[in-house]
Amino acid sequence: MKRFTAIVVMFFAVHISAFAQSGWFWQNPLPTSNVLNSVHFENSNTGWAVGEYGTILKTTNAGTSWTTQTRVTSKDLYSIHSTDVNTGYVTGKFGTILKTTNGGANWISQTSGTDNTLFSVHVADDYAGCAVGITGTILKTTNGGTNWTPQVSGTSNELSSVHFADNNTGWIVGSSTILKTTNGGINWTPQLNGTDGYFRSVHFTDNITGWVVGYDNMSSGAILKQQMAEQTGYHRQAGQAISYLQFISLIIITDGQREVMAQFSKQPMEEQHG
């Protein structure tokens, strides 16, 4: 039985440049004071967190300690995803895409072909991946990031999260938007959701069961769940009772049974994107 452990990275609100001047070293709080925007674990021990000013942290002991990896950009980073303990991708501000093939010892900049900020990346295997961002931006790679090709999203809305259940089936969420693909991201189809708001994160445990979290136009937390293959399969869960709170991330923990958790914050989404 597989056991997946989710570790939540707390966000620090102190905005201090991570570039230490000669003779000065950051001491507290360790390992960084920079805001962290995304965390991803490849297994129960190995994971990364990314954030502002190009911050990339890595742990190999389930989060007991974190080390700062070599910085290759000063741009804010918003998402990280990996295919194994060696290969991973990071996306961020102004079209930033980084890739590592040696566990983060080196991060190499890739050509995204856009200056649009990319809020989320998901890679299905060593070759296929997708990144999304502002003004309906969707980028797709089929060769491990050597080339990123724009895809037609059919929207100019901000897209905040992408998740694939397998190489063909995936979802994108964002401002009043849920999109689905069944052909690896070549075509994206809008899905009905019944809620007008900002969807911050999406996660599916298989091709038909998944959750979307965010907030609606009344600034109350929203959790939507789909358990059907049809577009009308979304229904709202317990977010409606949580007024003035906005869910910002989604974590699925599997340990014999499925559970869903959501983090929340009063801070508007636009501010959290930096």
For residue 246, the model assigns a pLDDT of 43
Q: What is the pTM for the complete model shown?
A: 0.77
CB neighbourhood size of 186 (10 A) = 13
Residue 193 pLDDT level (bands cut at 50, 70, 90): low
- What DSSP string describes 51-107? EGGG-EEEESSTTSS-EEPPP---S-EEEEEESSSS-EEEEEGGG-EEEESSTTSS-
Residue 266 pLDDT > 50, yes or no? no
- Pairing mode of beta strands 246-254, 234-236: unpaired
Percent of the chain scoring above 90 in pLDDT: 54
**Three-class secondary structure assignment of 130-170:** EEEEHHHCEEEECCCCCCCEECCCCCCCCEEEEEECCCCCE
Please give the residue that has the higher pLDDT: either 153 or 3. Answer: 153
Q: For the chain, what is the mean pLDDT?
A: 78
